[in-house]
Each structure stands twice: as C-alpha cells, then as structure tokens.
Amino acid sequence: MAKVLIVGCGDIGLGLVEVLIAEGHEVSGIKRAPLAKDVPGLKLILADITVEDELNKLPSDFDQVFFILTPGAREEQSYRHIYLQGINNILAYFADAEREPHCLFVSSTSVYGQNAGEWVDEDSATDPSSQTAKVLLQAEKNILKAGASNTIVRFSGIYGPGREGMIKRVQSAVPVQYDPPYYTNRIHRDDCVGVLAYLFAMRLKGAALENTYLASDVDPAPLGDIVDYLAEKLNCPIPPPKSELEQTLSQNKRCSNKRLNDLGYSFRFLSYRDGYRLLLH
C-alpha cells in the first residue's frame, strides 16, 4: 500500500481516487472547496495551493503526488497562478519533508508547436506558440528539476461524458476545415485515468519510468473525418467547410503513443469511433 496525494480533485482526479482506493492505497486529495458529494475512503484536505501557509495542514509522508490541475480560466495569468505558483509551493513544501514523494504532472500536447500534420513523440521539439502552453512547459521543467525521476504525462484532447463539445459543434453546424486536412488527437477520459493508474502501478513494481509520456489514442484523425462520422451517427447534416480565410494550422499534428504502448498500456478506446459510439448510445 502506498500513501498518495491527488492535487486537483476534478473529474479525472476523482476517477483516479476511486481506482487507487479500490486497489488498497491510502489516498488524500487537496481541493480549495468541498466536493459536491463525499467519496468513500478519500481524505479530503481543503486548501489553496497558491497560498503557501495553507499547506501546513498537509501530511509530509506521501509516497506519490499527482498534479491534475485545472486553471480558473484559459488565460496566461490563471495558468501562472496554479501551474507555477501553486505547484512550486507544493514542491517547496515536500523538499523539506521527511521524504520527497515521486511527482507526476499532467500536462498537455499543446506544448508542441508543430502545425503541418507532423508526427510528434516525447522526443520531438517543444516550441509552443500560446502563452498558456509556454506556462505548462515551464511547469514541466520545474517538476523535473525538483526530482530526476519525476514524470510528465502529456494528454491530448480529452473527451468523454461531460466533454461533448465536438458533438455539439456538429449539431450546431459549426464550419469545419476539410482541406487541407486538419489533424486532431484525443484521449477518452477513462483512458486518462487508466494511464495514470498504470504508470503508478508500474513504478510500484519497480519499473524504471521515462520522464515523459505522450498519452493519446492510436488514431490521430483529420477533423473532417470525425465530424462526418458524428453527423452520420447523429443523423444530421454534415457541417459546412470553412472558408480559406477561416482556416488555421494551429495544433495540426499527429501524436504517437508508442512509448506508452511499449510499456504495456492497452487503450480502452482506441479511436474516436470507439469513444463516441459509447457516448451516443
């Protein structure tokens, strides 16, 4: 049994909590506000990680810390507040603890700057264009600087229950870039939880983890293919194409999950067809 701290008890964090408690681990979670409903077995600590003094209520003997954070807004200052100030407060707290835990930070494939449909993996250059992605990249560096064995997991676009934006876009006939193809990458919410639990289990078994893992399903697909599929399943018209002036190349890349596959993780939802089929039932 390990003693685990989940920093950020949103949907994915709470999903991981349930898995780890079921496996017999002692799990604590840190959150600014109470949960909507109690989670049996979870020791909830109410604290704001961006306020250094509030961390004094934390135990200091965790084996593992997961950072699964969500900023208050998609803008640079919110990202800096939680991903830099908040995480740095936690790292500083455990640097003085009786034992430093292993840290795993959930990042994003937005840290890649490639935009011509290239394949990217963990060794590809990271040169993001957006300020928020630059903050995430700095947070990654801070995590690895704090511990040479710490781990970064870069999730691609997360979808699943409660994350049905693509379905709504198709139903609303939002224009889509069909040509040139605009590649997109995604991972089902359940696979997000599964990847984190799997990496933790492998570390407990003594596996030497890499510092970085890219977590995305096996089917990077053009956006046009996805909306065509959804329109058929939803029995609604195919969205119109974007005009040339509306087209964009931002984030147009294909993400490889080979490193995770080589480690032995099996995706529950291999492609958008698998995940959206379940959502549409």
Q: Both ends of the chain: CA-CA distance in Å?
A: 38
What pLDDT does 245 receive?
A: 62
Q: Which domain holds residue 32?
A: 3-160+186-217+254-268
> How sure is the predictor about 53, in pLDDT bands with cuts at 50, 70 and 90?
very high
Who's near 25: CB < 8 A, 6+ residues apart?
1, 2, 3, 4
Question: What's the number of domains the chain is made of?
Answer: 1
Mean pLDDT of the chain: 94
**Quick one: tokens of 223?**
């956006």
Assigned domain for 245 exists: no
Nearest 5°: phi and psi at 214? -95, 120
DSSP conformational letter for 173: T
Give residue 140's pLDDT.
Answer: 98
Q: Is the dihedral of CA 15, 47, 79, 199 positive or negative?
A: negative
Which residues have a Cβ under 8 Å from the Cβ of 208 and sit 6 or more positions away? none
CA dist 93 and 105 (Å) reads: 16
CATH number at residue 11: 3.40.50.720
User: Which tokens in the block code for residue 246?
Assistant: 């509306």
Residue 247 lies in a domain: no
Q: Are 108 and 128 in contact (CB under 8 A)?
A: no
Q: What is the pTM of this model?
A: 0.96
Position 217, amino acid:
D
Q: Does residue 246 have a pLDDT over 90?
A: no
Domain annotation covers residue 119: yes
Q: What would the two tokens of residue 157 be?
A: 């676009």
Identify how many contiguous H helices and E strands the chain contains and give both numbers: 9, 13
How much is the average pLDDT of 19-31? 97
Provide the pLDDT for residue 242. Answer: 86
174 within domain boundaries: no
- Residue 146, domain member (yes or no): yes
**Looking at the domain assignment, is residue 66 inside a domain?**
yes
- Strand 221-222 and strand 183-184: the pairing is antiparallel
pLDDT digits (tens, 9 = 90+) for 163-184: 989 999 999 999 999 988 999 9
165 neighbors 227 (Cβ within 8 angstroms): no
pLDDT tens per residue across span 69-99: 999 888 999 999 999 999 999 999 999 877 8
Q: Does 253 have pLDDT greater than 90?
A: yes
User: For residue 73, is it within any domain?
Assistant: yes
